[in-house]
Amino acid sequence: MKFWEFIYDKYKDITETELTSQDKDLLSNLSSLTYYLFEINEENYEWINQIVPFIHLSYNSTYFIEALNKIKEKGNIKFVAERLADIYLNLLEYSTPSQIPTYKKENIFSIVKFISDQGFDKKVNQIIDFYFENKYFPFAKEIRDFINQ
C-alpha cells in the first residue's frame, strides 16, 4: 500500500486536465490494489476517490466493485457505508454510457443493500435514480426489489 500512498501523494494536487493519458492509465490500474485493502478508512478513502474517475479506462469496474464488496463490513460500518455510497456514486458519474456497472450484479446489489441497511436511503435513491435516468430500468427495479426483500 506504500506504492498507492506514494502515487496518491504524487498526483493529489494535480488537476485532471493536467494529467497525461499515461497518468490516467496508471491511476486506472491502481484499482486492482483495492483487493489488498483491509477496510475503507479516512486515508484510503482519499486514495480510492482519486482513482475512481479513471477506472473505466482499464475496464476494471467489475473487479473494483467486487473488491469493495469484500471489505464493506470492515471497520467503522457507518463511515464505510457512507463513503462506499459516495465512491459508488462517483463511479457511476464517471462511467461512460456503455460502461455503467451492471455485471456481477450480486456485488452491486450487496453494496447497495449494505448502504441501505445503514440508513443512507437518500444515497441509495441517488444510485437507483442514476440507473433509471440512464435507461437501465429493469436493473434499477432489480436493485429496488433486492433491498426491499
Q: Has residue 61 got a pLDDT over 80? A: yes
Sign of CA dihedral 52, 86, 14, 94: positive
pTM beyond 0.85, yes or no: yes
Residue bearing cell 436511503: 121
Categorize the per-residue pLDDT at 135 as very low, low, confident or very high, splitting at 50, 70 and 90.
confident
Residue matched to cell numbers 485532471? 16
The per-residue pLDDT for range 8-40, each reduced to its tens digit, is 889 999 888 899 999 998 888 888 888 888 889
Q: What is the mean pLDDT of the segment spanning 49-61?
A: 86
Position 118 scores a pLDDT of 95
**Percent of the chain having pLDDT more than 70?**
100
